[in-house]
Chain A
């Protein structure tokens, strides 16, 4: 159980496991592909890991520690961003969510026996995930397969009457919500308070921009193709029964997904499997027992199944989750879930609690992972108060600015793939361990350059644009070439 808990906590930080239902909701089969990768990539890493840990001088042992520290820092950042987003979505100031999550992780640094708490944190979190999904399933009265069938047969996703966005008191841009809405059918928007709206209407080749100054109760009718923008804090009421702006055109389109997106799929496969190899396999020695493997695989499978089922029941019972595009934090409490879950605050509070506990478990597992690489210090680096205070504090500070948590997780795994994964597959000879550092530095440099280039240029969706979308596809092979040269030099 401890091994399974460690693997789940390391690999599935909240920003990763909550991204699974969000991506399934957003893009159907593409999200399912990400889920499959999140499940199979760690299994692949565990089947390949477990040999002899690479040995070398203490100087050469420093680079993996630094590289993994960078990866872990980005993972902390991603999860603290999510904590802020969830707090804002639940109606609290963003900084409070960040402070609670970062404070909890920091307190566990002080407690040296926090490791023993990890399985229990995850067990309680699992219960917090299970109850809401059972409640939604019970409310829907459908098995997951029937629920999927119902969603995949929908001709359109409509705003339910229970949606908070048909209520005048709810702010439209709660959490990291949309800044603009694109309407697919005629829709009357009513101001809940004083609101200044900006409407961009496209009529053939002609584009008209207009501003509306609405008093409480006044409304404006938008036509198909119109785009609405509004200032933060504006309270607007949408029409129940109308198409959800930002939702897929239909359930059929959602279930079939997009065609011709192969480069992204393969890029993600490379990045996630490499990331799993580095995060779970680098420097890990010893044999994994079959029972440990079975428990870890079962736990990963359970999270995968939960993610799919949660996405399907959300699409069925809370289609307003699509409003303006799917934001990760909305999955923590789907907008229409309180109505489906019945009266009382307990069920809607369980998922945010599960996120918090899962983050605490992940913070312990990630620190412990770094500690296991500390061959000379006996793992003491995993408890270094100054170092981890800086990482948690830095992550908390950075997360005050909104970012996309899943993109940060992908970046962290890409960095791990580029710097450490080649050395797991082709460990350098013991007398040439410096080549491992050289390979990692080459991977790091290429990853950094391509990531920066990807920020400044508009990446192409075709194969040619893949290195800018997933820099690890170039950086990791370059590192591998350095390691293969080291082997050739040895045999020569």
Chain B
């Protein structure tokens, strides 16, 4: 029996949702910093590979993710 032909569906996205997602994600990234400070037991002060979690987030993770959100989701 011949195999059924594959059907490809283009990925559909809602442009309005993507447009809204960018600022929301950037705000979430920003809000993560003061929220990390507020975590109990000084979680932000735990050191990993030289830097504390708070500094890893604020100096490395959040800026890199912000760049990705601003550029990759740019339409």
User: Which residues of A are in contact with B by a Cβ distance under 8 Å?
Assistant: 29, 32-33, 35-37, 39-40, 43-44, 46-48, 145-146, 148-149, 152, 255-257, 259, 262, 265-266, 269, 273, 288, 290, 293-294, 297-298, 301, 304-305, 308
Does the CB pair A43–B70 fall under 8 Å?
yes
Say yes or no: B30 contacts A152, CB within 8 Å. no
Chain B residue nearest in CB terms to A287: B75
A262 touches B52 (CB 8 A): no
- Nearest B residue to A36 by beta-carbon distance? B58
Chain B residues proximal to chain A, CB less than 8 Å: 19, 22-23, 26-27, 29-30, 33-34, 37-38, 42, 44-45, 47, 49-52, 54-55, 58-59, 62-64, 66-67, 69-71, 74
Q: Which residue of B lies closest to A46 (CB)?
A: B70
**Identity of the chain B residue whose Cβ is nearest the Cβ of A43 in the assembled complex:** B70
B23 to A298, Cβ gap below 8 A? Answer: no
A46: chain B residues at CB < 8 Å are 70
- Establish whether residues A36 and B51, one from each chain, have CB atoms under 8 Å apart when the complex forms: no
Instruction: Please determine whether B50 and A40 come into contact, CB atoms closer than 8 angstroms.
Output: no
B55 touches A297 (CB 8 A): no
Cβ contact within 8 Å between B50 and A148:
yes
Cα A177 to Cα B25 in complex, Å, equals 41
Q: How far is the CB of A272 from chain B (nearest CB, A)?
A: 10
- Say yes or no: A256-B45 contact (C-beta < 8 A), given A40-B29, A148-B55: yes
Contacts of B34 in A (CB 8 A): 33, 262, 265-266, 269
Q: How far is the CB of B72 from chain A (nearest CB, A)?
A: 9
Q: How far is the CB of A271 from chain B (nearest CB, A)?
A: 13
- SS of B interface (majority): helix
Do the beta carbons of A40 and B59 come within 8 Å of each other? no
Tell me which residues across on chain B come within 8 A of A146, comparing CB atoms: 50
Give B73 Cβ to nearest chain A Cβ, in Å: 8
Cβ–Cβ contact B59 & A32, under 8 A? yes
Query: What separation, in Å, do the CA atoms of A102 and B54 have in the docked complex?
Result: 40
- A332 → chain B closest CB, angstroms: 22
Q: In whole angstroms, how far apart are the Cα atoms of A273 and B67 in the complex?
A: 16
Q: A149-B51, A262-B37, A294-B74 provided; 13 other pairs, C-beta below 8 A? A: A29-B44, A36-B33, A36-B58, A46-B70, A145-B50, A148-B50, A256-B42, A257-B54, A290-B74, A293-B70, A293-B71, A294-B71, A308-B59
Docked-complex contact B37 and A29, CB < 8 angstroms: yes
Quick check: B67 and A145 within 8 Å, CB to CB? Answer: no
Contact in complex: A255, B62 (CB < 8 Å): no
Contact B52 A47 (CB under 8 A): no
Bound-state Cα–Cα, A63 to B27, Å: 29
Q: Given A39-B63, A47-B22, A269-B30, decide whether A32 and B70 contact each other with a Cβ distance below 8 A.
A: no
